[in-house]
Structure 1
Amino acid sequence: MKEETLWEGTTSHVAKLGTYLLCLLFCWLLVPIFVAIWTAIKLKSTRYQLTTERLRITEGILSKRTEVVELYRVRDMSLEKPFLYRIFSKGNILLITSDQSAPNVLMEAVPDADQLMDVLRKHVEVCRDKKRVREIGVDGF
């Protein structure tokens, strides 16, 4: 089966609304304008790409860094929808993985987080079945 892209997106500007409001309050100092621009560029330079087999997170403005998390390595996931995010139909998805370089992956302020989490969960199970991988929990250790 060929790997297909299921979803692509970025963090919403809602995640940095507090920073933008502070910059607006102090825009007469001029520096906060540059802080707001830098924050917006940095925010939109983080890209998420979910495929049928992995999650790619690309970050960086001038230099890029890509972290790849194989879906079969996802151990647990949780959804958080703070009040402000709910107003804008956004949410945070936290993935707990067995990946050494990315044990916790936070997808912050992503649109339609409920549906995205369902898609993630479905494909995590498909990848686990395909690779014959199961998570074993051991209490007391």
Structure 2
Amino acid sequence: MNNDDSSVPASAETVLWSGHTSQWVHFWYYLFCIVLAVGIAFAATMFGLATAGVGALSYVALVIPLIMWLVRWWVTKCTFYELTSQRLRIRSGILNKRVDELELYRVKDYAIEQPLLLRLVGLGNLTMVTSDATTPTVPMRAIPGVEVVREKLRTAVQNERDRKRVRQLDVDSQDEGALK
């Protein structure tokens, strides 16, 4: 049997949307870093006054919340989404890069979630349920224009299913008991 899928016409793959997860997703973490930095600065000042300036070296501890902030920012910035007419590519990683691709015809369902903080800044989460064995759910967190991205995804999924002549088959396990 020939596994070559030559019956499917080749079409040019075009980029429909690309973007990053917003840093707003880490609001509470960044707020914690600020509170920690203020606490360290206050403690260093009090210790410095009590030891007649010897404790001024305690300000070096301010590098801890700064490093925490920068690492979280960098990890988030290194996650990149690219929605094309045929697949969703997710590139992530700082030192070790990972590229995960999801063929759009495998997308079964999608849902939008907009928590209050994200909604206030025009962001939302888009979660896809797929038939892919390695990634049954694919979350895209804190992306801008989530409704527009969902509509582009919906259209692209339908077009890709039509192009590949693939249909989703829903099997309900509860109905099996009724048949017996």
Q: TM class, shorter-chain normalised?
A: over 0.9
Distance 1:88 1:134 in 2: 37
Which residue of 2 is the match for residue 122 of structure 1? 155
Which residue of 1 is the match for residue 140 of structure 2? 107
Structure 1 segments, 4+ long, off by >6 Å, are none
SS at 2:12's partner residue? Answer: coil
Q: Does 1:21 align with 2:54?
A: no
- Aligned residues with identical type, % of pairs: 40
Distance 2:173 2:137 in 1: 22
Q: TM-score, normalised by structure 1?
A: 0.97
SS at 1:121's partner residue? Answer: helix
Q: Quick check: 101-110 or 26-35, which moved more?
A: 26-35
Q: Deviations over 1:30-84 (max 9, x none)?
A: 2121111000000000000010000000110011001000000000100000000
Which letter maps to 1:111? P
SS at 2:112's partner residue? Answer: strand
Which residue of 1 is the match for residue 119 of structure 2? 86
Distance 1:40 1:33 in 2: 11
Unaligned runs of 5+ in 1: none
State the 1:131 CA deviation.
Answer: 0.6
Query: Greater strand share, 1 or 2?
Result: 1
The structure having more radius of gyration, on CA atoms, is: 2
**Out of 58, 65, 88, which is 1:32 matched to?**
65
Which letter maps to 2:144? P
Distance 1:39 1:103 in 2: 26
Distance 1:129 1:91 in 2: 28
The number of residue pairs the alignment matches comes to: 141
Which residue of 1 is the match for residue 57 of structure 2? none
Which residue of 2 is the match for residue 55 of structure 1? 88
TM-align CA RMSD: 0.9
SS at 1:130's partner residue? Answer: helix
Which residue of 2 is the match for residue 6 of structure 1? 16
Unaligned runs of 5+ in 2: 1-10, 41-60, 175-180
Query: Greater helix share, 1 or 2?
Result: 2
SS at 1:129's partner residue? Answer: helix
Distance 2:138 2:34 in 1: 31
**Out of 153, 157, 171, which is 1:138 matched to?**
171
